Amino acid sequence: MAEIIQKDGTWVFDGDALRLTPGRDRNVSPLRSALGELVVPLGALAGVSFEQGKRSGRLRLRLRDGACPLLQATGGRLAEPHDPYRLVVEPDRHGVAEYLVDEVRDALLLDQVPTGPVDARLLPGPSVPLSVSAGDGTASFDGERVRLEWNWKTEEAKAAAGPRTLPVGEITAVEWCPAAGLDNGHLRFTVRGAPARTPAKYDPNAVELWGFKKDPLMALVAAAVQARLPHPAAGPGHVVPPAPAPPPAVGDDHDTLLRRLRELGELHRDGVLTDEEFTRAKQAVLHRM
């Protein structure tokens, strides 16, 4: 097991999954705190890296496309402080971070985890019910329907229609986009049969965001809804199955590990694995034995 504990959070790798727990430091993003602990199965990972800086380092996870509803809904637009798959590492723990990276990479190689997209989500969305107020309205989600309510700052033409209730079955897409420069952001729901796309300021199916502190929390609503929509890789009408449980550990299965050593030897002889990859993978198997 590899573990790193920092003010920014704690990452623990047990060979089958990474457990990411946000820290309790006051500088930890409200989004990460509200999201809580994440369990990322090995099969959801496309890679892991550690980047050293002058004062601190960064651990970064790269997930396979389609595995996480939060990343799907935000389209890679989450700023670093809000990204749950990054961890600030203090200078005296750089060695620990590098060890964790080596352990995860060895496991990915040992289990031959592909790096390509997945056809089903491997992580659940945020817990519901939840409600967030930001920008020109409040977005609430109970797992079955979204409710949008407006405040005194909402454009009059948009607020005149009153609160909106959107059943999940009528939503075809959801998108969270942060404010950038002079451009406002939004939380937008694409609804079946709705008119052509309009600016969020006038769109009754969107909350306009102005770049304030609570804007990132709207991404939680987007992720919770995204988790209940058909996966992009699935056909029409497809029902997304729940995320599978992590595979059982094989550390005590001696026969399985011996068979894995033979497979690695064959891959090395066939030229699939380089000398360095074979050595690292073999050491990982022997470590489990």
Residues whose CB is less than 8 angstroms from the CB of residue 139 and which lie 6 or more positions away in sequence, other chains included:
131, 132, 146, 147, 148, 187, 207, 218, 221
Summarize the confidence of residues 116-143 as an average pLDDT. Answer: 95
Separation CA 89–CA 71 (nearest Å)? 22
Summarize the confidence of residues 190-205 as an average pLDDT. Answer: 89
Separation CA 153–CA 134 (nearest Å)? 11
pLDDT band at 245 (very low <50, low <70, confident <90, very high): very low
Least confident of 39-43, 62-66, 83-87, 250-254: 250-254
In this prediction, residue 235 carries a pLDDT of 58
In this prediction, residue 281 carries a pLDDT of 67
In this prediction, residue 270 carries a pLDDT of 66
Place of tokens 């890789």: 233
In this prediction, residue 70 carries a pLDDT of 97
**Span 21-77, pLDDT tens digits:** 999 999 999 999 999 999 999 999 999 999 988 789 999 999 999 999 999 999 989
pTM score: 0.80
Summarize the confidence of residues 158-162 as an average pLDDT. Answer: 92
Per-residue pLDDT at 97 exceeds 70: yes
- Across the chain, what does the average pLDDT equal? 87
Per-residue pLDDT at 96 exceeds 60: yes
Going 33 to 14 to 64 to 128, the CA torsion angle's sign is negative
Separation CA 75–CA 66 (nearest Å)? 11
In this prediction, residue 288 carries a pLDDT of 63
pLDDT band at 197 (very low <50, low <70, confident <90, very high): confident
Q: What percent of the chain has pLDDT over 70?
A: 82
In this structure, what are the phi and psi dihedrals at residue 269, rounded to the nearest 5 degrees? -65, -35
pLDDT band at 242 (very low <50, low <70, confident <90, very high): very low
In this prediction, residue 289 carries a pLDDT of 59
